[in-house]
Amino acid sequence: VRVLFVEHIQVTLAIEALSAYLTREGHRVDVFFDPALFADSLAPIPALAELFNHRRPLVDHVKRFAPGLVCFSVVTEHFQWALGMARAIKAACDVPIVFGGIHPTAVPVDVLAYPEVDYVVVGEGEGALADLAHALETGGPVDGIANLGFRAEGAVRVNPMRPLITDLDSLPWPDKDLLVHVWRPLYGNRYHTTASRGCPHRCSYCCHSFLAPAYRGKGPYHRVRSVANVIAELVEAKRRYNPRSILIHDNALIVDRKWFAAFAEAYAAEVNIPYFCWVSPDSINEETVALLKKSNCTNAWIGVTRSPGSAGDPGRRARFDGSVARALDLLRAANIYVVADNVYGLPGQTAGDIRDLIRLYIDHPVDLTIAFFLRYYPKIALIDTALAAGAITPEQVRNIERHGLTGTFILPDIVTDDTARRLSNLMQFASYLPRRVTQWLLADDRRLRLVPRRPLWIVQVLFADAYARLRFGKRRIPLIAGLVRTASSYTAFALRRVFYRFK
């Protein structure tokens, strides 16, 4: 059957994975990319988003391609966008629409309450989507398809999930050609991939806190591709796209050290393109840093929730003892660009915790400190803690689950306390400011008022780039160049939309 994916802002691995799988099964796949201008949670401007909306071009595309199935991969904050697009399609043509991805997986019944959605797929989508496409093509029944949710006789039914795919090598590589004209300019010819599925950790604000229990009894949750399979994909990527860098999206690349040692050896020998990856503090030691360095890892992201030694971590992130500081120092000593990722607004987190983080970055500077404000996504384990602590109300939970209303991500709408806002800004500069200045500001709440309370991330980008230029020279000035590239890509999208001629 002809299958159309509708893609929102980012080129996602999920759609590339599903496209490759359906193509191998003999279906014809196409994609419609909506840059969703001004609709991103980082800079939403509703009036402009409406002006630049891509509903009409999408409907034209649907009429032209005449799909037998339209697919959306939905994260919570894009749920309303996806519904709007689905509604536009339904108003113009009679074609079945399926929503898959993390949001429908978490709350399938809530998603199916919307009439514009015909089916949901919960969990891993390959098998269920192929079964659905096959059933629609042959006119066969859909009601027995594992992982599928649908409406039947006035009620919603969600079938049990099939076992997880244990042999990831059996899957085709992501279909990078699908949106190569988008990801190459948008990401600066950076190739995205992943070597595993699942995660060994269960941080309470993350999807794995509810996905892993939901999959209990369905096979091992954290699965890794063989080194040979990952390297073969990257060698092919090098040949085909000659990427500037590779971004490995695994939640933690170094879990099995033996696997990573083999990967690093093979990568250095056969790929050797600079790469970015996520590491967890407890996986970092002299040996793993040497392997990262040897295999040409230039940027490492590391998740930090609280500073080392803090008691009781409501985020339940992986172990945080002295390993965080040590990991930061080892990575920096190896001349790897270190990005420290922090979560603010956790229930029970205090201004004192942010002060601890600032002290951490004074003593153990990093290249970039990112601070994201917690958002409650449907079914994450932290919701129970937050409800019990009165940090959110049952009505807010209902709105998140039913309508995908999660609030903003980068603006501290959850943190209303001015001191916390100022501290969060100071933390983002703690690695760049002279330590005495930071210590002076930190020592007294009256001095802290010199730090603005509004988010300063644009200023931070300028500082971070200047700092990187000093540390690494010209070869790595990642942020401004990235922002300029993104801005020019989106301007091109906007112009194309302005001059779009309706069919």
Which residues form the interface with ligand SF4 (CB under 6 A)? 199, 201-203, 206, 208, 251-252, 280, 303, 317-318
Cβ–Cβ under 8 Å, residues 41 and 12: no
Among 34, 110, 118, 126, binds ligand B12 (CB under 6 A): 126
Nearer to ligand B12, 194 or 385 (CB): 194
Q: Give residue for tokens 């059933």.
A: 135
Q: Take residue 385 and report the two structure tokens written for it.
A: 């803690």
CA distance 497 to 232: 38
Quick one: what does residue 124 bind among ligand SF4, ligand B12, none, with the CB cut-off 5 to 8 Å set by partner type? ligand B12
Q: Which of 455, 465, 351, 452 is nearest to 409 (CA)?
A: 455
Q: If contact means CB under 5 to 8 A according to the sort of partner, which of ligand B12, ligand SF4, none does residue 110 touch?
A: none
317 binds, among ligand B12, ligand SF4, none (CB under 5 to 8 A by kind): ligand SF4
299 touching ligand B12, by CB under 6 A = no
By CB under 6 A, which span of 14-22, 85-93, 314-322, 414-422 interacts with ligand B12?
Answer: 14-22
Handedness of CA 443, 445, 447, 449 (dihedral sign): positive
The only residue of 41, 245, 296, 439 in contact with ligand B12, by rule CB under 6 A: 41
Residue 453 CA to residue 431 CA, distance in Å, equals 19
Residue 201 binding partner per list ligand SF4, ligand B12, none, with a CB distance cut-off of 5 to 8 Å that depends on partner kind: ligand SF4
Q: Minimum Å distance from CB 324 to ligand SF4?
A: 13
Residue 207: both structure tokens together:
């999807």
The smaller minimum CB distance to ligand B12, of residues 17 and 246, is found at 17
Q: Cα dist. 38→47, 51, 67, 493 in Å?
A: 9, 9, 28, 12
- Which one of ligand B12, ligand SF4, none interacts with residue 202, CB within 5 to 8 A by kind? ligand SF4
The span from the CA of 423 to the CA of 441, in Å, is 10
| Residue 285 near residue 261, CB atoms below 8 Å | no
Q: Contacts with ligand B12 in 196-225 (CB under 6 A)? A: 206-207
Please, what is the Cα angle at 240 between 239 and 244, to 5 degrees?
A: 80
Q: Which of residues 330-389 bind ligand B12 (CB under 6 A)?
A: 377-378
Does residue 35 bind ligand B12 (CB under 6 A)? Answer: no
Q: Tell me which residue has tokens 């991330």.
A: 457
Using CB under 6 A as the criterion, what x/- string covers residues 456-495 for binding ligand B12? Answer: ----------------------------------------
Tokens (6 digits) for 155 = 């009620």
Question: How many positions of this chain bind ligand B12 (CB under 6 A)?
Answer: 36
Q: Which stretch binds ligand B12 (CB under 6 A): 125-133, 266-274, 279-287, 347-355?
A: 125-133
Contact 306, 313 (CB under 8 A): yes
Please select the residue that binds ligand B12; options are 31, 34, 62, 73, rule is CB under 6 A.
73
305 binds ligand B12 per the rule CB under 6 A? no
For residues 124 and 139, what is the distance between their CA atoms, to the nearest angstrom?
A: 24
Closest C-alpha to 482, from 247, 150, 258: 247
DSSP code per residue over 362-378 = HHS--SEEEEEEP---T
Residue of minimal Cβ distance to ligand B12:
100
In 3D, which of 7, 60, 18, 25 has the Cα closest to residue 137?
25
| Rounded-to-integer distance, Cα 73 and Cα 77, Å | 12
Q: How far is the CB of 205 from ligand SF4 (least distance, A)?
A: 7
Residue 149 binding ligand B12, by CB under 6 A: no
Q: Which is nearer to ligand SF4, 206 or 231 (by Cβ)?
A: 206
Residues sharing a CB contact under 8 Å with residue 387, sequence separation 6 or more, in sequence order: 393, 394, 397
Q: How far is the CB of 448 from ligand B12 (least distance, A)?
A: 28
Among candidate residues 92, 108, 109, the one with its CA nearest the CA of residue 100:
108
Based on the shown chain and the rule CB under 6 A, indicate whether residue 121 belongs to the binding site for ligand B12: yes
Q: Which amino acid is at 499?
A: F
Binding of ligand B12 by 101 (CB under 6 A): yes
4 binds ligand B12 (CB under 6 A): no
Which residues of this protein are in contact with ligand B12, per CB under 6 A?
Answer: 8-14, 17-18, 41, 71, 73, 75-78, 98, 100-103, 106, 121, 124-126, 129, 192, 194, 206-207, 249, 251, 377-378, 409
